[in-house]
């Protein structure tokens, strides 16, 4: 699976960075994609990438500031125009339902697919299926704002075909029994433990995507032990007071959160336009505290092995 960053700026669009949006594409799950935030012109940004609107099955909105939602009506409409016909689910804070329904109603936009809107009103698990669990936790921002923790569940290991063949067991329906049963009895009456013929479980990956936030314990909780933490970096080191006043974080604070959470990697995004020419300073500041750190740019992709 991999992230495609569609917008990595803060507040308003800039020449080098559009407003906030990113997509998690999962080739190992039929190519399904999940979008996180949808700032103005997100659908235009998608045109420069391999992201397909019809493959987006879920959209997670962190909060209702314009730079995180103004592109949403356009994306929803274009997904319909481009042939998307299966259900799309939007998660977000209270108010996201009114925003979407009013925008679509006033613009007479008809969707050809079922749209489910789930408003989050408390911390906890907001989605779970056979493969994933997604949790939300409120962060510290000027309005209600959530961070998301995506946990891929551990998957059964691979069937050790060579070992089965060495036992004289050739491919066939019996292979499925080794995947589904604790023990398998062969036609000759011999019983084998399935675990001896299945590799170790594949450990699920863990990701934290935070909305706008001050440095806070909730951010650390969401990022605990993740493979990658995606964290805003609106301000630079030395601007902590301004960051606090505006409910944002500095590059150093993002790194402190990653370190406290024992994250495996940190990606900085939501970069203020004041750093258009020297955004590398944010990266250097964060690297003094934590490593590895990456600085997201529009259209950049990051693979999670």
pLDDT at 83 over 90: no
The catalytically annotated residue of 32, 37, 67, 129 is: 67
Distance between CA atoms of residues 11 and 273, nearest Å: 8
pLDDT given at position 167: 87
pLDDT at 282 over 90: yes
Q: Over range 158-163, report the average pLDDT.
A: 91
pLDDT given at position 157: 87
pLDDT tens digits, 9-37: 998 999 899 999 999 999 999 999 999 99
pLDDT at 179 over 90: no
> Residue 303, SS3?
strand
More confident residue, 23 or 169: 23
44 annotated as belonging to a binding site for a ligand? no
pLDDT at 277 over 90: no
| pTM (whole model) above 0.85 | yes
pLDDT given at position 155: 85
Q: Over range 208-217, report the average pLDDT.
A: 98
Of 128-142, 147-161, 193-207, the range with the highest mean pLDDT is 128-142
pLDDT at 57 over 90: yes
48 annotated as belonging to a binding site for a ligand? no
pLDDT given at position 87: 97
pLDDT tens digits, 96-117: 999 999 999 999 999 999 999 9
248 annotated as belonging to a binding site for a ligand? no
Active site residue 67: yes
What mean pLDDT value characterizes the chain?
95
> 189 — alpha (psi -120 to 50), left (phi > 0) or beta?
left
pLDDT at 40 over 90: yes
Cα→Cα distances 40→130, 145, 205, 237, 247, Å? 33, 18, 30, 28, 21
What are the chain's domains? 2-155+202-303 (3.60.15.10), 161-196 (no CATH)
Quick check: bond before 282 cis, omega within 30?
Answer: no
pLDDT tens digits, 231-255: 999 999 999 999 999 999 999 999 9
pLDDT at 276 over 90: no
Q: Whole-angstrom distance between the N-terminal and C-terminal Cα of the chain?
A: 7
Cα→Cα distances 181→130, 156, 161, 166, 173, Å? 18, 12, 16, 20, 13
Percent of the chain with pLDDT over 90: 88
63 annotated as belonging to a binding site for a ligand? yes
142, 67 in Cβ contact below 8 A? Answer: no
């Amino acid at each position: 699976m991999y992230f495609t960053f569609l917008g990595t700026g803060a507040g308003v669009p800039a020449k080098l960075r559009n407003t906030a949006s990113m997509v998690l594409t999962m080739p190992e799950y039929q190519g399904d994609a999940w979008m996180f935030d949808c700032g103005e012109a997100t659908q235009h940004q998608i045109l420069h990438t391999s992201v397909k609107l019809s493959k987006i099955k879920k959209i997670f909105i962190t909060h209702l500031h314009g730079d995180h939602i103004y592109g949403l009506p356009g994306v929803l409409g274009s997904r319909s125009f481009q042939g998307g016909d299966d259900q799309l689910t939007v998660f977000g804070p209270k108010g996201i339902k009114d925003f979407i329904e009013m925008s679509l109603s006033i613009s007479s936009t008809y969707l050809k697919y079922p749209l489910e809107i789930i408003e989050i009103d408390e911390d906890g698990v907001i989605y779970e299926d056979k493969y994933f669990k997604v949790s939300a936790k409120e962060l510290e921002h000027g309005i209600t704002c959530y961070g998301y923790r995506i946990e891929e569940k551990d998957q059964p290991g691979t069937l050790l075909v060579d070992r089965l063949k060495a036992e004289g067991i050739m491919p066939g329906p019996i292979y499925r029994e080794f995947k589904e049963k604790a023990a398998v009895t062969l036609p000759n009456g011999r019983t084998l433990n399935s675990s001896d013929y299945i590799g170790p479980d594949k450990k699920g990956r863990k990701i934290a995507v935070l909305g706008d936030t001050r440095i806070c314990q909730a951010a650390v909780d969401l990022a605990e032990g993740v493979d990658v933490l995606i964290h805003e970096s609106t301000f630079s080191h030395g601007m902590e007071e301004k960051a606090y006043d505006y409910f944002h974080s500095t590059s150093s604070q993002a790194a402190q959160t990653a370190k406290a959470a024992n994250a495996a990697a940190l990606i900085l995004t939501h970069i203020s336009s004041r750093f258009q020419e020297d955004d590398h300073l944010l990266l250097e500041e964060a690297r003094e505290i934590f490593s590895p750190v990456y600085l997201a740019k529009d259209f950049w992709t990051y693979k999670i092995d």
